[in-house]
Amino acid sequence: MEETTSMTPTAVAKAAFALGVPYGLFITAVYLKAFWEPVGLNPFQHSSPADLLASGAASLTLMWAGLAGGMATGAWLGSRLPQSEHGPKWLLPTIFGLAAAGLLGAVVYFIVKKNPLQWLAVGLLLHVIAVSALAYSPWINKWLQSPLVVAIVSAMLIYIPCAMLYYGSSQIVRLTSLENGRVIDANYSDVRVDTKETFLYVGNLGDSHVIYSPETSSTLLISKDHQISFFLKRRARLSSEREPPLTPSK
């Protein structure tokens, strides 16, 4: 009889910790690309080691928090569903099918609306499909006999990268919107810009401040030696209420 070696949850956890640094760099690259690409910047040309370290630490924290939350949710659902040997055989396939159909509808809806949540829905949909396929694969079952291990591996390979895409794209959408962005005060900043145009402070990238104009969709890189001052959200909102919005000339 052929002997097989299966991976336990403990073995998977040890492997995840051992691969933490390269995996952290991978999901950091995914996050940085999702964050900076919409404003026309290639983060890998400007990022400093400090940027990579900070983004990597945040990405790994989100990853482990997401895995812990997913495991807790799975354990809670598992305790309330009948076991496979006692319940009807159609129950789990039906649950997976309904979940996949609902997530597919969410993917289409968010893509049409151009909402960053599309990445989260895509990740969940692919995660459900992957878990369903891996659970019934004889070859995979030789190595990953525990359903929990299958879920963790699928989440790390599929869901977590998609979640990083969502997190990065949702952050940049918020920071480049007039409603939630940080409006630069040109009177107190060492930046020569048109005071009739609204500029938003996006953040730091390498040795530069990044500012963005939603009106012209232009991005400027300013040296960190220059002072940047921006309004708080409340003050910016009050200022915009006092002054009528500019209308582009035809």
Helix (H, G, I), strand (E, B) or coil at 36: helix
Rounded to the nearest 10 degrees, the angle between the axes of helix 9-18 and helix 147-154 is 20
| Side chain identity at residue 248, one-letter code | P
Where do the domains of the chain lie, and which CATH numbers do they carry? 9-175 (no CATH), 182-242 (2.30.30)
Instruction: With beta carbons less than 8 A apart as the criterion, state whether 134 and 144 touch.
Output: yes
Residues in CB range of 181: below 8 A, 6 or more apart: 174, 175, 200, 201, 212, 214
Say how far apart CA 140 and CA 144 lie, in whole Å. 6
CA distance 59 to 86: 40
What's the gap between Cα 78 and its chain centre? 27
To the nearest 10 degrees (0 to 180), the angle between helices 20-36 and 9-18 is 70
What does the pLDDT read at residue 1? Answer: 42
Query: Global pTM?
Result: 0.70
The pLDDT of residue 246: 38
Return per-residue pLDDT of the chain as tens, 250 residues: 444 455 565 666 666 666 666 777 788 888 888 999 999 998 888 766 666 666 666 666 666 666 666 666 666 655 555 554 555 666 667 777 787 788 888 888 888 888 888 888 888 888 888 887 777 777 766 666 666 777 777 888 888 888 889 988 999 999 998 888 888 887 777 777 666 778 899 988 888 889 998 888 889 888 888 888 887 664 444 444 444 443 334 4
